[in-house]
Structure 1
Amino acid sequence: MLQDPSSKYQPFPPVTLVDRQWPNRSITKPPIWMSTDLRDGNQALFEPMNAERKLHLFSTLCDIGFKEIEVAFPSASQTDFDFVRQLIEEHRIPDDVSIEVLTHAREHLIRRTIESLQGARRAIVHIVNATSKPFRELVLAMSKADVVAMAVSSVHLVKQLIAEHPETEWVLEYSLEAFTATELDFAVEVCDAVSAAWDATPHNKIILNLPSSVEVTTPNVYADQIEWMHRHIARRDSVILSVHPHNDRGTAVAAAELAVMAGADRVEGCLFGNGERTGNVDIVTLALNLYTQGVSPGLDFSDINAVARTFEHCTQLPIHPRHPYAGDLVFTAFSGSHQDAIKKGFAAQKPDSVWNVPYLPFDPADLGRSYDSVIRINSQSGKGGIAHLLESQYGVVLPRRLQVEFSGVVQKHTDNHGGEISAADLWQLFSLTYLDTVKPVQYVEHHLFEHNSGQSIRLTLEIDGISHVFIGEGNGPIDASVQALRGIGMDFKVRSYEERSMDCSADARACAFIAMAPFDSHCEYFGVGMDTNIVTASIKALVSGINRLAVNAVSSG
């Protein structure tokens, strides 16, 4: 049992922001996206990516549409330094993409970082410096004044070094590491000192990044912190306000969305939430959340499977099958009630109309996903899902009562065998149950002829392997067939009859469904027949029903 947490953990103090505006806002345009998959994401891997995998992922990020990509921590290792040089010297950076590199606020690290970027068309130098009280006291042993002085001196050094490389368009990003645990008045002091040292203007903006380096509170408090900074920092028109949420509490996506409502212009994160500890904010989820609200996210995930497979290859990390939007099972319903609702939603959905399918807030086709895996069958499935698969995969539209009957057959099969049943296995089970029934009666052929004012039929059947001919008369071929089949010695009544075409082509097969019951029983069983001729399909359905009556009579007896 967990101990009483009240003496060990204290709730995070709220922000004094009585007239907060973010709860009344909506996101109407995407933020500036910055992918840190190759830096923050890479350093979180069991085995960091080699050059080949980093290049592959970099190319994918460019194809998706990222215009800012943090590619390395070049002062931390020769491998990262060499990767930056490879991107620049081999001209692998598209003209509309800016690479970003990280460095701590130390002179020798900053010099090494600027060296790695020589010859780049446009580069973002990202300096990070911890500002919270625990870091100041426990890690850095620095006062507030010391922290501000370090930040300002770092900016001055960057300005000095980049002046020697006018061929590059330089942008500065400054991150207040552990911002969420930093006193807000001190955070704004550091930000204002840094933007003043950079001489930030509307034409020479600075990126001020306010990360939840460790997620320590609820998303609404983070939004309050961002709105407070948005209101109080100097030179706001010269600042790109950025956020970098981590997912320690599992609420990074919500924190990022609320931060954008609170005034953030830019979001840093990784594909599928990769990153230190529980990960960075998931940019795939953020972007597609926007898309579902009718806002174009500026990132292209129209082939989400290709992006997912590339990510898994490059990082050697699996994507959870229930991951939002991208998981292999995220558009899959096993539950019977879910399947029924989805089936009805698909039937009602009109092309080019607003998407409105129950349990599917997102059209899988927009991500390049097919509908084949939306409904899958296991022991939890119901008639709606089964009917959907037979209709979508094989063109067989089952009457509702037959849906109920066959779902019991499927349930028994999955209970006995366990696991999932594929569409092909489902069709095989349907065929064995209804279409391929030849015992005790097997259809051979029939001949129709007029008789008086009605219809007569000469029906040839095999019963237990012996050929028999039966004659029947009725007001039509189906009634005549029913009368002929009474000659086999079984008393039955036809409860209902339906026929449907399986497609619209000239040689389309017809499908007939006949519900039958013994005269002395209320137990109803369906027979199903298929043929290019509707009369033949109907006779086959009658024979199928008789066989099912016979089999069930034996099993119940």
Structure 2
Amino acid sequence: MSRFDHRKYTPIQPIHKPDRRWPNRVIEAAPQWCSVDLRDGNQALIEPMSPEQKLEMFEMLVDVGFKQIEIGFPAASQTDFDFVRKLITEQRIPDDVTIQVLTQARKPLIERTYESLKGASRAIVHVYNSTSTVQREQVFKMSREQIKQIAVDGATWVGEGAARQPETDWQFQYSPESFTGTEVDYAVEVCNAVIDVWQPTSDKKCIINLPATVEVATPNVYADQIEWFCEQVSRRDSVIVSLHTHNDRGCGVAASELGVLAGADRVEGTLLGNGERTGNMDIVTMGMNMYSAGVDPELDFSHMDRIINVVEKCTQLKVHPRHPYAGELVFAAFSGSHQDAINKCLAQYQEGETWEVAYLPIDPRDLGRNYQQVIRINSQSGKGGVAYVLEQEHAIKMPRWLQVDFSPVVQVFAEDCESEVTADQIVSLFEKTYIEPDNAIALKSYQVNRESGLDAMQAVLVANHAEHPIQGEGRGVLEAFVSGLNRHTQHDIVIIEYDEHTLGHDDASEAIAYVQVSVNAQRVCGVGRSRDILGATFIAILNALARAENINAMRLSA
């Protein structure tokens, strides 16, 4: 028998529901959103986020517009406990944002959870226990009644803990973990027992969260389960039905969308889908799906490069170039016929009109991208050949994204001179384009200090024969430099890509740094050389800024 044998798996049996209504509905308004990037997204990492990374992620989630953010599992981790305390004691939680914390239905953990939340103005306490058939029978070896009693006890302890801290505005949330692997009638039975303990009202609702902890069926099956649950659960007008889907079958977004059609009020997920196994539901994708259909997601994704930058830095996971909406290449057309169709549509498009452009479901500018990134030349041999010559002849190791940027420059040069381009011509063109652009600001000096966990830097720039001092702070030297540069130039500069190496093998060798930055939503590359890598990187950023300004000046003159 083949080891690849499908007969070892049991087909999922859908519930009998001939009166389903969700297929005839459309999403017309955003659900309540809750980010779990700092819990599910953090626990899924090989190296969990540091406190500094967690804070940066939290602040970015607030800026995007999340009003509910699950910030950790304080009873299970001292790092999470300390982070909760930091947000509360340092008053970093905006008045319109509610923090959420997770705890198992165990009394000592619940007590520890409330200890972490002392002084919070408002909070959601999220308690859970697993109810699935396989967990009951093989992991816990308990009966239905015993598992339900765990949930009831947990709900009771949660209520008692809140009563001891009445100064906080509490909301309770319960999750029957592995809801999709639980008999739906039993899931309702357990949730109703929890609701009976909490006695929610229409003015003081509780949250019942229904996790697809493991995605085991097609999204329509999940939607049937949600619709049936909404019909059967007690006190429906006092209950917020929430979804928490995973992506084991690649349908996490679809399951949440259909679950909202089926009656759910709230969705938990992570930005860009990071989470255990294949990940959590991707809120960027679901939100942008709504946006592309003319529905306000009530989240702001207009600075997508910043979101990607923070997520990649905090998770140490790269965003796939073909990731929906966010990926580097999702709006790029390499096919000639695609480029032609996009060009013709863009030539006819007028601001204020309904967006109808071939191959582009949304306007890239809505995410901080621009049309230059849409039409791109695809010449593998050209990129590879140029990169090979620069590395072999001059030790310049261009990263892939710089190869893509530089290849059209070489092609235009080759077409103009109508002859073979030599290695010296290529490096001269490279230097003129990226290392010595016209009107570049020079770096005269800089100094870096670390204070209170932040990097503070001062630098002196030279432009038009005048010196300009700048200063900035950040969670890293580059962030500090960009902060100071943004303040001085009134630009919005975000570092998207960065790479560096030395140009030799001894201590006297120069360093070279490559950057791709977004300058007021315009992506440009720059390269810098110096005796030290920080100086090279600062120069690369300044050169990229000069290129952006030169490109804009050329457009104006044209």
Structures share fold, TM-score greater than 0.5:
yes
The answer to whether the 8 A contact 1:269-1:281 is kept is yes
Question: Which residue of structure 1 aligns with residue 348 of structure 2?
Answer: 348
Deviation at 1:7, TM superposition (A): 2.2
Contact 1:376 1:422 in 2 (8 A): no
Name 1:553's counterpart in structure 2: none
> How many Å apart are 1:147 and its aligned residue?
1.3
Q: CA deviation at 1:95?
A: 0.4
- Matched residues in 2 for 1:31 and 1:425: separation? 49
1:428 aligns with 2:413: yes
Q: How does 1:90-489 map to 2 (within 5 A)?
A: 90-379=90-379, 420=404, 422-433=407-418
Report the secondary structure of 2:128's partner residue. strand
- 8 Å CA contact retained: 2:110, 2:161: no
CA 1:343 to 1:183, structure 2 compared with 1: closer, same or farther past 3 Å?
A: same
- Taking a change above 3 Å as real, the CA distance of residues 415 and 305 of structure 1, as seen in their structure-2 partners, is closer
Distance across 2 between alignment mates of 1:139 and 1:238? 33
Corresponding residue for 2:76?
Answer: 76
In 1, Cα distance between equivalents of 2:168 and 2:132:
33
Residue identity matched to 1:427? V
Show the counterpart of 1:50.
Answer: 50
Q: Which amino acid aligns with 1:183?
A: E
Structure-2 separation of matches of 1:357 and 1:508: 28
In the TM superposition, what whole-angstrom CA distance separates every residue of 1:125-169 from its partner, at most 9, and x where no partner exists?
000110011111111121111111111111111111211111100
Q: Which whole-Å CA distance do the structure 1 matches of 2:77 and 2:352 have between them?
A: 52
Are 2:3 and 1:18 equivalent residues in the alignment?
A: no
Shift in CA distance, 430/354, structure 1 to aligned 2, threshold 3 Å: farther
Deviation at 1:34, TM superposition (A): 0.3
Tell me, yes or no, if the aligned pair for 1:34 and 1:66 is still in contact at 8 Å. Answer: yes
2:150 aligns to what SS in structure 1? helix
State which drifts further: 422-431 or 75-84: 422-431
Per-residue CA deviation, residues 297-333 of structure 1 (Å, 9 max, x unaligned), is 0100111001110111111111111111111111111
How far did 1:17 drift?
0.6
Distance in structure 2 (CA, Å) of the matches to 1:19 and 1:322: 38
What do residues 101-143 of structure 1 show as CA deviations (whole Å, max 9, x unaligned)?
0000111111111111111011100001100111111111211
2:212 aligned counterpart, secondary structure: coil
Amino acid at match of 2:412: W
Question: Over residues 68-100 of structure 1, what are the superposed CA-to-partner deviations in whole Å (9 max), with x where a residue is unaligned?
Answer: 000010110111111101110000000000000
Counterparts of 2:296 and 2:223 in 1: how far apart (Å)? 23
Going from structure 1 to structure 2, the CA distance change for 1:2 and 1:30 (only over 3 Å counts) comes to farther
TM-score calculated relative to the size of structure 1: 0.71
Distance 1:303 1:164, change over 3 A: same
**Partners of 2:358 and 2:417 in 1: CA distance:** 32
Tell me if structure 2 keeps the 8 A contact 1:202–1:237: yes
- Cα deviation, residue 431, structure 1: 2.2
- Cα distance, 1:364 vs structure 2: 0.5
- The one-letter amino acid of 2:371's match is Y
8 Å Cα contact 2:247-2:281 kept in structure 1: yes
**For 1:4 and 1:274, how far apart are their aligned partners in 2?**
29
Matched AA of 1:40: D
Q: 1:83 to 1:195 in 2, by over 3 A?
A: same
Code of the aligned partner of 2:33: W
- Deviations along 1:21-46, whole A, 9 cap, x unmatched? 11100000001000000011101001
The CA deviation at 1:246 is 0.2
Q: Which runs of 5+ in 2 are unaligned?
A: 388-402, 422-551
Q: Is the 8 A contact 1:269 1:283 kept in 2?
A: yes
- Structure 2 contact 386–407 (Cα < 8 Å) conserved: no
What CA deviation, in whole Å up to 9, does each residue of 1:463-502 have, x standing for no partner?
xxxxxxxxxxxxxxxxxxxxxxxxxxxxxxxxxxxxxxxx
Pairwise CA RMSD = 2.3
**Would you say the 8 A contact 2:382–2:407 is kept in 1?**
no
- Alpha-carbon distance between aligned partners in 1 of 2:385 and 2:76, rounded to the nearest angstrom: 58
Q: Quick one: distance in 1 between partners of 2:202 and 2:557?
A: 68
**CA shift in 2, pair 1:38/1:344, >3 Å:** same
Deviation of the 1:293 alpha carbon: 0.4
SS in 1 for 2:373: coil
The residue matched to 2:71 in structure 1 has which SS? strand
- CA offset at residue 19 of structure 1? 1.1
- Report Cα offsets for 1:413-472 as digits up to 9, x if no partner: 6797697464433432342249x9xxxxxxxxxxxxxxxxxxxxxxxxxxxxxxxxxxxx
Task: Write out per-residue CA displacement over residues 489-541 of structure 1, whole angstroms, 9 at most, x where no aligned residue.
Answer: xxxxxxxxxxxxxx9x9x988xxxxxxxxxxxxxxxxxxxxxxxxxxxxxxxx
Unaligned runs of 5+ in 1: 381-411, 437-502, 510-557
Deviation per residue, 1:258-278 (Å, 9 max, x gap) = 000001110000010000000
Instruction: Map Cα deviations across residues 332-360 of structure 1 (whole Å, 9 max, x no partner).
Output: 11111111111111112122101111111
Q: Which runs of 4+ in 1 moved over 3 A?
A: 1-6, 412-423
Read off the aligned partner of 2:410 and give its amino acid letter.
Answer: D
Task: Give the whole-Å Cα distance in 2 for the aligned partners of 1:339 and 1:2.
Answer: 47
Partner of 1:153, secondary structure, is helix
CA distance in 2, matches of 1:305, 1:508: 29
Percentage identity across paired residues of the two chains: 56
- Structure 2: distance between partners of 1:321 and 1:3: 34
Whole-Å separation in 1 of the counterparts to 2:2 and 2:22: 36
One-letter code aligned to 1:18: P
Does the CA contact (< 8 Å) of 2:242 and 2:266 recur in 1?
yes
1:199-218 per-position Cα deviation (integer Å, ceiling 9, x unaligned) = 01101111000000000010
CA contact (8 A) 2:128 2:176 kept: yes
Shift of 1:251: 0.7
Change (3 A) 1:11 1:361: same
Q: For the residues of structure 1 that align with 2:295 and 2:375, how far apart are their CA atoms? A: 28
Flag the 1:304–1:148 CA change in 2: closer, same or farther, 3 A.
same
Paired with 1:2 and 1:62, the residues of 2 have a C-alpha distance of 51
Cα gap change, 1:370/1:303 in structure 2, threshold over 3 Å: closer, same or farther? Answer: same
Q: Secondary structure at the match of 1:102?
A: strand
Q: Identify the residue that residue 500 of structure 2 maps to in structure 1.
A: none
The letter of the residue matching 1:131 is T
